[in-house]
Structure 1
């Protein structure tokens, strides 16, 4: 196990494109850290820089106490699991698991011991004599994980390892990876574009966009206190509702004028009140999670909206609504639902509101 330290890591390609810009953070010894973001955000590039598969343009990378910028991948004491299983089709599961150790000249009895330990951990004992063609997708992915496990490296790097699996297998394999991490306590860096994987697996999450780090924090801190509009709308399913309009004063109170005769009362907590008041007469973007909107009786401060579609998904339902030119999603229990075309009234939890500058996208919470 080892701590990994990135200090102002930067990757610039020969054509001038900046793949990663000023990445600075630590991965603690034994931590499972997730790099998440949309396609092209730089997350896989950053992982490949840590692995030694991409050269570092500038900055410093440490694994443990060693600076490894110019250390060959094979000498970094890391193991990587790729999106594709990359198993040798002519070898059995046991041979695939032990091949890396065999290349390094490990004694045969040690190879057998480590292969059996990994197979037991991943419930592959009954499959050791099979070849990859006789395995399911989930089993092949477990073999790929096991091949990394037998190495007993300081750091595991996982590059979208579940993206080739169907939804059910992704969920079960995600649980296996979390269980493995708890059991092994090894440093793991996990790349995904799936925010559900990021939220359920990561002890901390690094959110990237366009090569730059947007925010680093625990999953629920990111969900509850996003630093900017990108993080707010990227994490969460369905995504955060955004309403925009002009901040107006109503006596001592504030409201967001969304459209003519459509206003949303704002009740920022004391620490935020003066910041929000600074937007009186200006545009402001307000965010509310789907669970922070409620159906309500007509009354002061309640928005009127039209139901566009109803999506029952079993244990919950989503209402897609139109309100003053804004599109909203409301999360509800699947009982007594309105129908498409109905007019409903919405209450909200003002203490759960998020306030963003519409130009910079930054949260007013700081």
Structure 2
């Protein structure tokens, strides 16, 4: 096992395109860290730089205490699981699992021991004689995981390994990967575009967009305190509701004017109130998670909204609403739901509101990143906003 340290890593392609820009953070020994973001954000490029499959244009990469910028992939003591299973179709499961060990010159007894141990951990023991064509998608993915596992590397790299599986298999294989990590205690770096995978698997998550790190933190810290509008709307399903308008003040009380005669009460506390006060007469963006809105009786502290859609999904329901010229989604219990076309009134918990500057898109009360020797350590509970 080993920690990884990325210090200002940068990837610039010959045409001048910057794939990764100034990536600095540490992956702790034994940690399962997830890189997440939309397509083209640089997450797979960053993983391939760690693997040695992409040349590093700038900065420094260390595995343990060793700088590996110019070390060949085979000498980095890492194992990578790709999106495609890439199994040898003419080989059995056992032969696929042991092939890399055979190439490294290990003895038959050692190969057999490692293969059977990996098969036991991944519940492949009854499939060792089968060919890949006789396996399900989930079984093939487990063989791909096992092929990395038998190498006993310092670091596992997983590049969207579940994207070819259906929803049910993705859920069960997520559980297997999490269990495997707890059992092995090996450092893992997992890449995905799926925010559900990121939230359920990662001990910490690195959120990327356009090649730059947006925030590093634990899953629930990211959900509860997104550092900017991108993180706020990327993590969470449905995404965070955003309301924009002018901040107004009446009798010392602050509100966000989101439409003609429609004011949303704002009750920020402490230093945050001073910052919001500075937006009086200016535009501000406020976020509320779907579960932080509720149906209420009409009153001065509620928002009127028109029901545009009702989506019951079993244990909960979602209301799609039009409010103040914008759209909102509310998460509710699936009982006594309003009908399409009804006007409802929304209450909210002011303490659950998120405040963002519409120009910089940064959270008003974001905590500055902690830097240790130029490396962003990403401590739990700390928001890391891109300036």
Output the TM-score relative to the length of structure 2: 0.94
1:8 aligns to what?
A: 8
2:328 aligns to what?
A: 328
CA distance in 1, matches of 2:365, 2:108: 59
Q: Give 1:268 shift.
A: 0.6
CA distance in 2, matches of 1:250, 1:78: 61
Q: Deviations along 1:267-286, whole A, 9 cap, x unmatched?
A: 01222000000000000000
Q: Give 1:65 shift.
A: 1.2
Q: Give 1:154 shift.
A: 0.1
SS in structure 2 opposite 1:106? coil
2:155 aligns to what?
A: 155
Q: Give 1:169 shift.
A: 0.2
1:204 aligns to what?
A: 204
CA distance in 2, matches of 1:125, 1:208: 39
1:221 aligns to what?
A: 221
1:288 aligns to what?
A: 288
Q: Give 1:263 shift.
A: 0.5
CA distance in 2, matches of 1:141, 1:339: 44
SS in structure 1 opposite 2:344? strand
CA distance in 2, matches of 1:223, 1:271: 22
2:70 aligns to what?
A: 70
1:36 aligns to what?
A: 36
Residues 1-366 of structure 1 correspond to what in structure 2 (within 5 A)?
1-366=1-366
- Segments of structure 1 that go 5 or more residues without pairing to the other structure are none
CA distance in 1, matches of 2:290, 2:248: 24
SS in structure 2 opposite 1:110? helix
Q: Deviations along 1:106-131, whole A, 9 cap, x unmatched?
A: 11100000000000000000000000
Q: Give 1:326 shift.
A: 1.1
CA distance in 1, matches of 2:181, 2:250: 53
CA distance in 2, matches of 1:255, 1:300: 11
Q: Aligned-residue CA RMSD in angstroms?
A: 0.4
SS in structure 2 opposite 1:49? helix
CA distance in 1, matches of 2:156, 2:66: 17
CA distance in 1, matches of 2:127, 2:137: 13
CA distance in 2, matches of 1:16, 1:253: 51
Output the TM-score relative to the length of structure 1: 1.00
CA distance in 2, matches of 1:83, 1:271: 46
SS in structure 1 opposite 2:8? strand
CA distance in 2, matches of 1:164, 1:263: 46
CA distance in 1, matches of 2:326, 2:349: 18
Q: Give 1:259 shift.
A: 1.0
- Segments of structure 2 that go 5 or more residues without pairing to the other structure are 367-387
SS in structure 1 opposite 2:314? coil
SS in structure 1 opposite 2:96? helix
SS in structure 2 opposite 1:365? coil
